[in-house]
Amino acid sequence: MADILDQSEVDALLAAVSSGDTSTLESRGGEPSPREFSVYDFKRPERVSKDQMRSLQAIHEGFARNFGASLSAFLRTIVETRVATAEQLTYSEFIHSLPSPTSFNMLSAPQLAGQVCLELSPLIVFPIVDRLLGGTNSDIFIPQRPLTSIEQRLVNRIIDRALASLTEAWSELVAVTFELAGSESNPHLVQIVAPNEVVVVIGFEIKVGSRAGTMSICIPFNVIEPVIGKLAVQSWLVYSTSASPSDQSRHVTRNLRKAELPLTAMLGETTITVNELMDLAPGDIIQLEKLIDRDFILQVRGQKKFAGKLGKLRGKRALQITRNADAEEPL
């Protein structure tokens, strides 16, 4: 533990500093301790702290997992999506790092100020389009041209899935709904912020079979500035730990309520011979083995669930549920 200086030593040190004499400073601790410093580039100020960058990266890692799963189901093949980079750049540096032409899309959300950019590399866009059109992606040529109208409509279906996954990932931070505001093939023609404005760029790697490409999300600082306080690591961990399970449970429950299930009401069973079946005619009566005073069994996906009475409701046959069915109860 360092010694505590008394008032006379403090006065001596101040006098030595004002006179430029370093002998007093060296005698105080032997060798002068090297000063710790860090390089600061005034042309590229880091307006987002490292903790906040880690939080943004964690949010978009969740987006990458959901988007990869959604894309795999849509393309019916395994799609791997992961976060490759997360850095702060100026908007000019980001634009000049992109190929031209490319799939450059502007995203907007009414809850946020400004726009977010989503860029898809031609190295992955054209293999996806080729697969959607029935190709094999084995020896596909990557053309250096803008997307045609048909290709753009196919790519928009990919972007729609990205918007849904991005909205879901950001909903844990702030309630937003991302929408496609426009698309451009030349990124140099789009200027959503000033060239020297700081932006956060999240880079992704996408693999579809043997093909691989990149995707980038550019988030200007003015977009995340209103919610920058929620990106602290400690508050983010507390928030995600306490709120995420309940939110996920409500989300799963809400989706399950929309699931359709087949219901089957068994009126009864009987056994007849083939000759009796061949002799059946309109007006004939088939006697069932079920007694008239017994409940009818309602099955849900083949499982006995409810029992009830047969009736009529608004001119249609109906079954009034009276109790839960027993699993061993005969039909």
Cα–Cα distance measured from residue 185 to residue 143, given in angstroms and rounded to the nearest whole number: 13
Last residue of a domain, one of 245, 274, 291: 245
Q: 148 with 291, same domain? A: no
What is the pLDDT tens value at each position of the chain, 331 positions in all?
A: 455 667 777 777 777 776 666 555 555 554 555 566 666 566 555 678 888 888 888 899 999 999 999 999 888 888 899 999 999 989 999 999 998 899 999 999 888 888 999 999 999 999 999 888 887 766 778 888 899 999 999 999 999 999 999 999 888 788 889 999 999 999 999 888 888 888 999 999 999 888 889 999 999 988 888 887 777 644 444 444 444 566 777 878 877 887 888 888 877 788 888 988 888 889 888 888 777 777 888 888 778 888 888 888 888 888 888 888 887 777 7
Q: Is residue 74 part of a domain?
A: yes
Q: What is the DSSP letter of 107?
A: E
Q: 154 with 56, same domain? A: yes
Q: 221 with 298, same domain? A: no
Q: Is residue 24 part of a domain?
A: no
Query: 296: which 2 tokens?
Result: 């009818």
Q: 76 with 102, same domain? A: yes
pLDDT of residue 44: 58
Total domain count, the chain: 2
Please, which residues have CB within 8 angstroms of residue 232's CB and are 6 or more apart in sequence?
51, 52, 55
pLDDT of residue 25: 52
DSSP string covering 181-239: EEEES-GGG--SS-TT-EEEEEEEEEEETTEEEEEEEEEEHHHHGGGGGGG-HHHHHHH
Last residue of a domain, one of 214, 245, 276: 245
Domain with 309 in it: 263-324
Cα–Cα distance measured from residue 98 to residue 9, given in angstroms and rounded to the nearest whole number: 59
Q: 172 with 270, same domain? A: no
Give start and end residues of each alpha helix (H) in the chain.
Answer: 7-19, 23-29, 50-75, 91-96, 122-132, 149-170, 221-224, 233-256, 274-278
Q: 84 with 202, same domain? A: yes
Q: 137 with 268, same domain? A: no
Q: 126 with 177, same domain? A: yes
Q: 232 with 84, same domain? A: yes
pLDDT of residue 243: 46
Q: Is residue 250 part of a domain?
A: no
pLDDT of residue 106: 93
The structure's pTM equals 0.59
Q: Is residue 2 part of a domain?
A: no
Q: 197 with 56, same domain? A: yes
Q: 197 with 278, same domain? A: no
Q: Is residue 236 part of a domain?
A: yes
Q: Is residue 93 part of a domain?
A: yes
Q: 201 with 167, same domain? A: yes
Q: Is residue 165 part of a domain?
A: yes
**What is the C-alpha R_g of the chain?**
34
pLDDT of residue 138: 66
Last residue of a domain, one of 184, 218, 245: 245
Q: Is residue 37 part of a domain?
A: no
Query: What is the domain-level CATH number for residue 294?
Result: 2.30.330.10
Neighbours of 200 (CB within 10 A): 24
